[in-house]
Structure 1
Amino acid sequence: MRKLTLFFILTLVHLTSVHAQKINDSYRLNIQKASSEILIDGALDEQAWLDAEVATDFYMITPMDTSYAKVRTDVRMTYDEENLYLLVENFHAVEGPYMVESLRRDFNFGKNDNFLLFMDPFDDQTNGFSFGANAAGAQWDGIMYNGGSVDLSWDNKWTSKVTNYDDRWVFEAKIPFKSIRYKKGITEWGINFSRLDLKTTEKSGWAPVPRQFPSASLAYTGILVWDQAPPQTGANISVIPYALGGFRQNRFEGEEPMYRKEIGGDVKIGLTSSLNLDLTVNPDFSQVEVDRQVTNLDRFELFFPERRQFFLENGDLFASFGYERIRPFFSRRIGLNAPIQFGARLSGKINKNWRVGAMNMQTGKVEEEALPSQNFTVLAVQRRVGSRSNIGAIFVNKQALNYNPDPNSDKPIYSQFNRNLGLEYNLATSNNLWTGKVMGLKSFGPDNSDQGFVQAANLKYTSGNLTWEWQHEYVSESYTAEVGYVPRNGYFKINPTIGYRWFPKSEKILSHGPDISSTSYWNKSGEYTDNTSFIAYNVKWRSQSTFLLWTAYDYVMLQRPFDPTNYSGETLPAGSQHKWFAWGTEYTSKPQSILTYAFSTRMGGYYADGDRYNVTAELGYRFQPYVSITMSANYNRIILPEPWYTNTFWLIGPRVDVTMTNTLFFTAFVQYNEQIENINLNTRFQWRFKPASDLFLVYTDNYLPAPFYTKNRSLVLKFTYWWNL
């Protein structure tokens, strides 16, 4: 283990020093101060736009990345003392209407004609912001992290307008400097522009990006050259109060309605142009869309992403530490079982090389569960190394306050504290061909049994045709992360993967090729406990439809009792061994159609020499740009010996999105989950009466399917207002 870890460290450090120069630094767009006032109306008629330099001659990213784009896109940018302005002319190459889902904010990238701006105002090729719109005017905004990922849950204050003409659609936007963070005094920002035109199925970018990477990749940005350093924002304080009223009722327990009258809010203080202090008092997240339900046949806890605004800005400092299933900090552990009373978070960049994050949250007591008041503290620091790599450290502390449990009580007993300390090195070469990580974590608890550790590493290579990766993990049995997401411990894992793509000169097929992976686990005693070996063949058409055919072999030696239905309560014994073969398919139709569909199938063996059959399907229809209707269904049939016999689980979820304008939204969806015997109805009305200021009306019901009976019900009316001081 130590030799393997040392090998990874030496390899990643060596790769850090490779390719230090920025790749697209010859692509430069000069921005100068506006020579006239600008009205956001989607028209190129102000003198400031006529004087602005034009970014044009985009490069094709897909279907090929070796030529100029066939679809013409012209971009202009300018600024004044308070705002950054953007105007984009998206010319048509083929006659016909544009393709969009609806006017829903933060739309699905692949299902809309759209234009997106990606900017790196810290010039670190790792963090930034994205803004954009589809051809109907729906807005897109997100915070960028890890060099090319975009978190669309982030929301901020800006305005835009899209106007359609016979030969083009024009997108014009005003982004306040107070809504973004940027490095003080620098006159060059990383920037790129992305255009997706579904009629030609062409994705293009101003600065060229290899087709194996997303157009959001900050490693391939060009440069926005300012005529002078961007203006300082001065006093940058935003107050975002809310007020709500409503009720909730547990009808299943025969309780009376509990009425709610609450106020609270957030304060955002820009300490510098790149360092922000967030404060919250009595926050409420009732407007956040509920999680999509799934049929759970997994042995371990499922993961659902964070959606609450307070935890999102610079959230990668905390949430990206570790791996997908080894997270020392997972913000959803805070406030879901106990109310958050108040909290504070300091996050951002100190200078070009250093990022910091500090968070402290206080929750209240829950008397009926004997859950004490708890304090959560998270500290993170990140030091840039080379062009795009970094070294990071994290400290997580969960502390019970004034807690003296009675050991003779029948109520749950919680730990006094749990702490985690971690260090990791993240590799990302300037051309993004090599990425990787080496990490270590140590946990601390009230007694020695809580003091475990983690060591893990991976190295990935991604070229135009070939992708391969090696990953290994070790999690000790005593490792504990009460504020994290680590669903499994006491194992050593290795996971090599390899994939290859051919790009034929075909009018129909864009790419095709295989993927092969193998994931193996050993327990603390060195026993071989799990293996999944997977082979798949992928086909992607130029129309953007995709097909996947796969087969897999599974072996499991259970480490603890497990109910293979997660429903009956009857379990297979620990130590029992199970193996099976399975195969399946996946297909997604082309996104240009008004009617879209997708399906996946799975058939083969299962635990206890049983069989499992699964079909998942989704059907979508849109009356663009105002209505999008989606029906999804998941069917599982599990055939097992006694005492389980045959079980079938349906999961059905119709959804309707109605977007009357790009500021007035209505969403309704139903989730019928046979496995947990629940029907969930959720409706949400949102009126964005001013940028980032909203009125929400949210109604939720949960029903028992048979006999049909209301289990619980809630109604919330919430008003939020974004006020810049």
Structure 2
Amino acid sequence: MKKISLLILLLISFKEFSFSQKINSSYRLNIEKTAEPMIIDGVMDELTWENADVATDFFMITPMDTSYSQVRTDVRMSYDDKHIYMIVINYHAVEGPYMVESLRRDFNFGKNDNFIFFMDPFEDQFNGFSFGANAAGAQWDGIMFDGGRIDLSWDNKWVSKVKNHEDKWVFEAAIPFKSIRYKPGIKEWGINFSRMDLKTTEKSGWAPVPRQFPSASLAYTGVLVWDEPPPHAGPNISLIPYGLGGISQNRAAGEQDNYRRSLGFDAKVGLGTALNLDLTVNPDFSQVEVDRQITNLDRFELFFPERRQFFLENGDLFGNFGYETVRPFFSRRIGLNAPIQAGARLSGKINKDWRVGAMTMQTGAVEKDNLDPQNFSVFTLQRRVFARSTIGAIVVNRQAGLFAPSIDSNNPSLSGYDRNVGVEFNLASSNNLWTGKTFILKSFNPLQKGNGIAYASNLRYVSGNLYWNWQHEYVSENYTAEVGYVPRTGFYKAHPSIGYLFFPKSKKILSHGPEINTKWFFDTKMNQTDNESYLLYKMRFRSQSNLAVWAAHDYIKLLQPFDPTNFSGDTLATGTEHRWYSWGSEFTSKPQSIFTYAISSRMGGYYAEGERYNVSGEVGYRFQPYFSMTLSANYNEIHLPEPWGVTTFWLVGPRLDLTLTNTFFVTAFMQYNEQINNINLNTRLQWRFKPASDIFLVFTDNYLPAPFLAKDRSVVLKFTYWWNI
């Protein structure tokens, strides 16, 4: 495995030197400073706009990437000492109303007529910011990482306005310099503009992007040329206090009403234009939506993404180290079973090539669980190399006590500490055809009985038609990552995949093609324990609907007892071997319809020569742009020998979204999970009375399905205010 890793590194280095020129450097948009007040009203009546340079003649990305777009889009930009300004004229190519889901912030890109732009203010083709809106005025904003991925959980302070006309819709925005990070003194930023028009099913971009890549790919940005270096944002300090009141009751435990009153604050301190210091005291995240439940038939821990705002900016520095199932740091471990008392987080750019991240968080003791206070600290450093690649290092530490005494020094509830150190190399060629990663991690824990090591590598190639990936991993039996996400240890893994896409000259089919994917797992003595292999054939239609059919073979040798229903408590024995075949299909309807649906099915074998049948689907209907409703359902039927017999699970989740304006939202959803015998009801009202300032009212109830009795319930009223000093 180590020889393979070295070979991959050599291939990576060769390819990096082969592609070093920025591809779309000839696409340039000039931005000049305005001397007049700019009013964000969606009307192009300022003199500034008459004299501004225009980005137009967009290129089609899909369904084809070989011609100009049929839909005309004109973009103009300007700035003053405090804001970047933009106005966009989105012309119609086909008569008829625009298509949107709702007025909800951070909408689904593929289900809305929208305009979005991507900024690379360091011109490193790796990190940036994204802003935009749909045709009804709902805002979109996110932080960009890994050269083209976007975290939409990130919100910041900016204003925009959309106006609709018979032949066009107009988007105008003002983005404060204080809301973004950028390198001082440079006059060229990477930038691209993307337009989705569902009536023509066209996705287009100003600087051309090959259709196999997302329009957000920073490798394909053009250049925003400033008439002079952007101004310094000035003192950049934001205080975000909150106040909270609520009541909760655990009826299942027979507890009395528990009244909550809490105050706390976050602070953002800009250290220059590229570094940010985040501080938090007594934070509360009760406004965050509850996780979407799934039927769990897996042998290992499930992953749920981070949603808390404090951890999101530059979150890739901390949370993207390693792979999805080999993460030395996972921020949701912090505050999982104990209250966070305070924390600090420094992150951002030191210069064009260096990024740094440092965080420390202190949690309090939980006496009823005999849980000591804990300190969680992370330090990470990243250096850009070659065109778009990086070398990074990370240190993760969980320490009992540190800033507070333990509950009982003679009876610690956890090991005294758990530490991880690691280095990694991320490949991203300048044309994005080659990507990959290699890393090594080592853990330290006083209860660790041997060497704790993990290392892995992958190399991926994506062209217009052919794509393939090779990935392998090793995690030793003694590796620990108590602040990470490593659901499985003691294995070698090999994971090759290859696929090919055909692009026919068809009026109905955009692309189709096969994919072969297989995963082999071995224990540390190289005895095979798992294999999952599947053949997939997928088809994408010009209407934007998708169809896929697949067949798979599974082999599993259990390394510990396992209940194949994750429900009954009866288990299969360690060492038993299980093989089966299965097949299935998936279909997603076109997003232009008012009524949308998706359905998937699976049938075939299961553990202990059993059978498993699964059907899941989602239907949605919208009264655009104010109201939408969806109903998702998942049904599993498992046939096993005794003592299990036939087991069935329903998971049903209706959801209602009411968006009266783009500042007032009501979300209500129910989750009925038969596997855990629970009904969860959650209703959240949000009023954004000023940019980034909100009032939340959240109701949460959990019930026993039969009889329909409340297990616990809570009501929380929370007020947050974003105050720029």
Normalising by the residue count of structure 1, what TM-score does the alignment of the two structures yield? Answer: 0.99
Provide Cα deviations, 1:502-556, integer angstroms capped at 9, x if missing partner: 0001000000000101100001222110000110100100000000000000000
For the 8 Å contact 1:445–1:451, the answer to whether it is kept is no
Residue equivalent to 1:686:
686
Partner Cα distance (2:271, 2:322) in 1: 29
Cα offset, 1:419, TM superposition:
0.1
Partner Cα distance (2:568, 2:408) in 1: 34
Cα offset, 1:15, TM superposition:
1.8
User: Does 2:551 match 1:551?
Assistant: yes
Residue equivalent to 1:571:
571
For the 8 Å contact 1:450–1:480, the answer to whether it is kept is no
For the 8 Å contact 2:415–2:447, the answer to whether it is kept is no
> Which one-letter code corresponds to 1:268 in the other structure?
K
Matched residue SS, 2:4: helix
Residue equivalent to 2:83:
83
Residue equivalent to 1:432:
432
> Which one-letter code corresponds to 2:40 in the other structure?
I
For the 8 Å contact 1:451–1:480, the answer to whether it is kept is no
For the 8 Å contact 2:372–2:413, the answer to whether it is kept is no
Residue equivalent to 1:196:
196
Cα offset, 1:336, TM superposition:
1.7
Partner Cα distance (1:447, 1:334) in 2: 21
Cα offset, 1:21, TM superposition:
0.8
Matched residue SS, 2:18: coil
Provide Cα deviations, 1:89-140, integer angstroms capped at 9, x if missing partner: 0000000000000001000011000000100001100000000000000000
Partner Cα distance (2:167, 2:466) in 1: 40
Partner Cα distance (2:407, 2:206) in 1: 62
Matched residue SS, 1:387: coil
Partner Cα distance (1:447, 1:556) in 2: 30
Partner Cα distance (2:164, 2:702) in 1: 43
For the 8 Å contact 1:269–1:278, the answer to whether it is kept is yes
Written as runs of structure 1 = structure 2, the 5 A alignment for 1:37-52 is 37-52=37-52
Matched residue SS, 2:554: strand
Residue equivalent to 2:108:
108
Provide Cα deviations, 1:592-639, integer angstroms capped at 9, x if missing partner: 000000000000000000000000010000000000100000000000
Provide Cα deviations, 1:549-571, integer angstroms capped at 9, x if missing partner: 00000000001100000000110
Partner Cα distance (2:349, 2:93) in 1: 42
> Which one-letter code corresponds to 2:135 in the other structure?
A
Matched residue SS, 2:267: strand
List structure 1 runs of 4+ shifted beyond 3 angstroms: 402-407
Cα offset, 1:451, TM superposition:
4.0
Residue equivalent to 2:186:
186
Provide Cα deviations, 1:462-501, integer angstroms capped at 9, x if missing partner: 0000000000000000000000000000000000000100
Cα offset, 1:413, TM superposition:
3.2
Partner Cα distance (1:6, 1:430) in 2: 22
User: Does 2:393 match 1:403?
Assistant: no
Residue equivalent to 2:643:
643
Residue equivalent to 2:369:
369
Unmatched segments (≥5 aa) in structure 2: none
> Which one-letter code corresponds to 1:188 in the other structure?
E
User: Does 2:695 match 1:695?
Assistant: yes
Matched residue SS, 1:17: helix
Partner Cα distance (1:164, 1:144) in 2: 29
Partner Cα distance (1:614, 1:294) in 2: 13
User: Please, which moves more after superposition, 15-24 or 388-397?
Assistant: 15-24
Written as runs of structure 1 = structure 2, the 5 A alignment for 1:513-662 is 513-662=513-662
For the 8 Å contact 1:35–1:51, the answer to whether it is kept is no
Partner Cα distance (1:291, 1:458) in 2: 30
Provide Cα deviations, 1:404-436, integer angstroms capped at 9, x if missing partner: 7577x7xx8311100000100000000000000
Matched residue SS, 1:449: coil
Cα offset, 1:2, TM superposition:
2.4
> Which one-letter code corresponds to 1:229 in the other structure?
P
Partner Cα distance (2:124, 2:246) in 1: 45
Written as runs of structure 1 = structure 2, the 5 A alignment for 1:15-414 is 15-401=15-401, 402-403=405-406, 413-414=413-414
Cα offset, 1:447, TM superposition:
4.1
Partner Cα distance (2:693, 2:353) in 1: 34
Provide Cα deviations, 1:177-233, integer angstroms capped at 9, x if missing partner: 000000111100000000000000000000000000000000000000000000001
Matched residue SS, 2:449: helix
Matched residue SS, 1:352: coil
> Which one-letter code corresponds to 2:329 in the other structure?
F
For the 8 Å contact 2:372–2:407, the answer to whether it is kept is no
Matched residue SS, 2:256: coil
For the 8 Å contact 1:443–1:450, the answer to whether it is kept is no
For the 8 Å contact 2:365–2:407, the answer to whether it is kept is no
Cα offset, 1:403, TM superposition:
3.4
> Which one-letter code corresponds to 2:663 in the other structure?
T
Matched residue SS, 2:5: helix
Partner Cα distance (1:536, 1:75) in 2: 41
Mark the CA change 1:288 to 1:431 in structure 2 (over 3 Å): closer, same or farther.
Answer: same
Cα offset, 1:379, TM superposition:
0.2
For the 8 Å contact 1:444–1:450, the answer to whether it is kept is no
Partner Cα distance (1:167, 1:708) in 2: 53
Matched residue SS, 1:14: helix
For the 8 Å contact 1:622–1:628, the answer to whether it is kept is yes
Partner Cα distance (1:665, 1:556) in 2: 46
Partner Cα distance (1:207, 1:298) in 2: 43
For the 8 Å contact 2:322–2:328, the answer to whether it is kept is yes
Cα offset, 1:238, TM superposition:
0.3
For the 8 Å contact 1:418–1:443, the answer to whether it is kept is yes
For the 8 Å contact 2:371–2:407, the answer to whether it is kept is no
User: Does 2:495 match 1:492?
Assistant: no
Cα offset, 1:34, TM superposition:
1.3
Cα offset, 1:35, TM superposition:
3.7
User: Does 2:418 match 1:418?
Assistant: yes
Matched residue SS, 2:12: helix
User: Please, which moves more after superposition, 450-459 or 197-206?
Assistant: 450-459
Cα offset, 1:11, TM superposition:
1.5
Partner Cα distance (1:450, 1:518) in 2: 31
Partner Cα distance (1:636, 1:552) in 2: 18
For the 8 Å contact 1:138–1:662, the answer to whether it is kept is yes
Partner Cα distance (2:3, 2:181) in 1: 42
> Which one-letter code corresponds to 1:218 in the other structure?
L
Partner Cα distance (1:193, 1:4) in 2: 40
Written as runs of structure 1 = structure 2, the 5 A alignment for 1:706-717 is 706-717=706-717
Residue equivalent to 1:7:
7
Partner Cα distance (2:408, 2:586) in 1: 52
Partner Cα distance (2:449, 2:436) in 1: 31
> Which one-letter code corresponds to 2:398 in the other structure?
K
Mark the CA change 1:393 to 1:406 in structure 2 (over 3 Å): closer, same or farther.
Answer: closer
Matched residue SS, 1:55: coil
Q: Percent identity?
A: 69
Partner Cα distance (1:35, 1:512) in 2: 53
Provide Cα deviations, 1:32-62, integer angstroms capped at 9, x if missing partner: 0014211100011111111111100000000
